[in-house]
Amino acid sequence: MANADCKNIQNLIPLYLDNMLSDEENDIVRNHIASCDACKAEYELMASIMQTAASLPELNVPEGFHENLMEKVKAEAESKQERRIYARSWRKVSGFAAAAAVIAVSVVSFMQLDRENNQTNPDVYLTKPAPVSTSAPAAKDKTAEHEVQAPAQESTQPKQKKQDSAQKQNGREAAPAPAQTHQPRVEKRSKDDSSQAAVAQAEAEGAAYTPEEASRTYQVAPAPAEVSSAPKQPDSASTGGSGARTIDEFRMVSITVADSAMAEAEAILSAYGKDANGYNVGESLDAVIGQLSKLEGYQITTQISPQVSANYIVLQ
Amino acid sequence: MQENEWIEQCRNGDTEAFSQLALLYERKMLNFAFRILRDSHEAEDAVQEALLKAYRKIDTFSKEASFSTWVFTILNHVCLDILRKKKRHGEDKHISLHQESKDEENYEVQIADTSPGPEEAYRQKQAMEAVSEAIEHLSEEHRIMIVLRDVQGMDYEQISKITGLPPGTVKSRINRARLALRKILEKNRELFS
Interval A66-86: pLDDT, tens: 999 999 999 998 888 888 788
**Distance between CA atoms of residues A264 and B19, nearest Å:** 65
pLDDT of residue A233: 45
Q: How long, in residues, is chain A? A: 316
What mean pLDDT is predicted for residues A113-135?
60
Distance between CA A264 and CA A73 in Å, rounded? 57
Rounded Cα distance between A137 and A299, Å, is 16
- Min distance A312 CA to chain B CA atoms (Å): 58
H-helix or E-strand spanning residue A300: strand A299-305
Q: Which of A193-197, A267-271, B143-147, B180-184 has the lowest mean pLDDT?
A: A193-197
Residue A109 has pLDDT above 50, yes or no: yes
What CA–CA distance (Å, rounded) separates A281 from B152?
75
Contact state of A70 with B56 under an 8 Å Cβ cutoff: no
pLDDT at B164: 95
Q: For residue A120, what pLDDT band results from cuts at 50, 70 and 90?
A: low
**Per-residue confidence at B54, pLDDT binned at 50, 70, 90?**
very high
pLDDT at B129 over 90: yes
Per cent of chain A over pLDDT 90 is: 22
Report the range of poorest mean pLDDT among A55-69, A113-127, A218-232.
A218-232
Residues present in chain B in total: 193
- Given a cut of 60, whether residue A100 has pLDDT beyond it is yes
Residues of B in contact with A74 (CB under 8 A): 15
% of chain A with per-residue pLDDT over 70: 56
Work out the pLDDT band at B97, boundaries 50, 70, 90. low
Residues of chain A that touch chain B, judged by Cβ-Cβ distance less than 8 Å: 11, 14-15, 18, 20, 44-46, 48-50, 52-62, 65-66, 68-70, 72-74, 76-77, 80-81
pLDDT higher at B20 or A82: B20
Residue B48 is nearest to which of A15, A45, A69, comparing CB atoms?
A: A69
| A66 vs B contacts (CB less than 8 Å) | 19, 22-23, 26
Map residue A280 onto helix, strand or coil.
strand
pLDDT of residue A49: 96
* pLDDT score of A121: 59
Read off the pLDDT of residues A266-300 as tens digits, 9 standing for 90 and up: 989 988 888 888 999 988 888 899 889 889 889 88
| A225 pLDDT tier (thresholds 50, 70, 90) | very low
Handedness of CA B45, B48, B53, B56 (dihedral sign): negative
- Burial of B30-68, coded b for 16+ CB within 10 Å and e otherwise, reads bbbbbbbbbbbebbbebbbbbbbbbbeebeeeeeeeebb
Work out whether the CA dihedral A102, A107, A112, A118 comes out positive or negative: positive
pLDDT band at A308 (very low <50, low <70, confident <90, very high): confident
Instruction: Examine the pLDDT at B136 and tell me if it is beyond 90.
Output: yes
* ipTM > 0.85 for the complex: yes
Backbone angles phi, psi at A302, to 5 degrees: -120, 135
CB–CB contact B124 A52 (8 Å): yes
B chain contacts of residue A19, beta-carbon cutoff 8 Å: none
DSSP code of residue A55? T
pLDDT score recorded for residue A159: 47
Between B111 and A287, residue with greater pLDDT: A287
Q: What torsion do the CA atoms of A172, A178, A182, A186 make, to the nearest 10 degrees?
A: 120
Nearest to A53 among B101, B108, B131 (CB): B131
Query: What does the alpha-carbon distance between residue A2 and residue B86 come to, in Å, rounded to a whole number?
Result: 46
Tell me the pLDDT tens digit for each residue of A144-158: 444 434 444 444 444
The predicted structure's pLDDT at residue A157: 46
pLDDT at B95: 52
* More confident call, A205 vs A107: A107
